[in-house]
Amino acid sequence: MSPVIGIVMGSDSDWPVMEGAAKALDEFEIAYEVDVVSAHRMPREMIAYGEQAAERGLKAIIAGAGGAAHLPGMLASVTPLPVIGVPVPLKYLDGMDSLLSIVQMPAGVPVATVSVAGARNAGLLAVRMLAAHDEELRHRMTDFLQDLNDQATEKGKRLRAKVEGAAGFGFGGGK
Ligand SMILES: Nc1c(C(=O)O)ncn1[C@@H]1O[C@H](COP(=O)(O)O)[C@@H](O)[C@H]1O
């Protein structure tokens, strides 16, 4: 299957965070490619990647970078595809530098920014983008949400059993 999502990052050191996006796409059996594409260190290749992404068949790009994270915004400036930016936290500033670099885009060039290190959500957002034009994938996303709901309900049940069991009485309100 040819890739429909591009996962790119400023350095291979971002992979431990960016892997979360790949795993989310794996769960939905979405074909993706991964690469290091740095706006700062390889600007010509970065422009070429962005300019060719749509014609190569990609439907969205997930771009992660740390520090002065210009990669997602620069890619968004040369492709009509949706770009999802992942702020990667580094040793200093806890990812705030990266978050603000990615989220504060000028009007006209949007980047859908997820939370610091939120690569899993970037992957899931990409799945939703594809699902907008794919009914079967939309059903799978609905099932996924139902699973989350069931798990949260189960957590509530377990917590109530633990607390009410320890106290020896019910607090009411629980089912
Ligand atoms: N923010 C950017 C860009 C860019 O935005 O073009 N290129 C690399 N980087 C970031 O530099 C950090 C340190 O990289 P190294 O670990 O290679 O020194 C990484 O988090 C990378 O995303």
ipTM of the complex: 0.99
Is the pLDDT score of 2 beyond 70? yes
Dump pLDDT digits (tens) for 61-93: 999 999 999 999 999 999 999 999 999 999 999
Known binding residue 11? Answer is yes
Q: Please, are residues 78 and 47 in contact by the beta-carbon 8 Å criterion?
A: yes
Mean pLDDT of 36-65: 98
Instruction: To the nearest 10°, report the CA torsion of 89, 113, 129, 51.
Output: -90
Q: How confident is the model at residue 168 (pLDDT cuts 50, 70, 90)?
A: confident
pLDDT at 171: 59
Is the pLDDT score of 174 beyond 60? no
CA 90–ligand 1 middle distance (angstroms): 9
pLDDT at 167: 76
Residue with tokens 């939703």: 128
Mean pLDDT score across all residues of the chain: 95
Task: Identify the residue whose C-alpha is closest to ligand 1 atom 6.
Answer: 39
Instruction: To the nearest 10°, report the CA torsion of 34, 38, 44, 48.
Output: 30
Tell which wins on pLDDT, 172 or 39. 39
Positions of E strands within the chain = 5-9, 32-36, 60-66, 83-88, 112-113
CA 66–ligand 1 middle distance (angstroms): 5
Report the nearest atom of ligand 1 relative to the CA of 13. 16
Query: Given ligand 1 and candidates 13, 36, 70, 113, which is best to mutate, with the most ligand atoms within 8 Å of its CB?
Result: 13
pLDDT at 1: 86
Q: In this structure, what token pair is assigned to residue 107?
A: 């009007």
pLDDT at 173: 53
Report the nearest atom of ligand 1 relative to the CA of 71. 5
Give ligand 1 pocket residues (Cβ under 6 A). Answer: 9-11, 13-14, 38-41, 65-71, 88, 90
Q: How confident is the model at residue 169 (pLDDT cuts 50, 70, 90)?
A: low
pLDDT at 172: 57
Write the burial class of residue 121 (CB in 10 Å: 0-12 exposed, 13-18 middle, 19+ buried): middle
d(CA 110, CA 102) in angstroms, rounded, equals: 10
Dump pLDDT digits (tens) for 99-153: 999 999 999 999 999 999 999 999 999 999 999 999 999 999 999 999 999 999 9
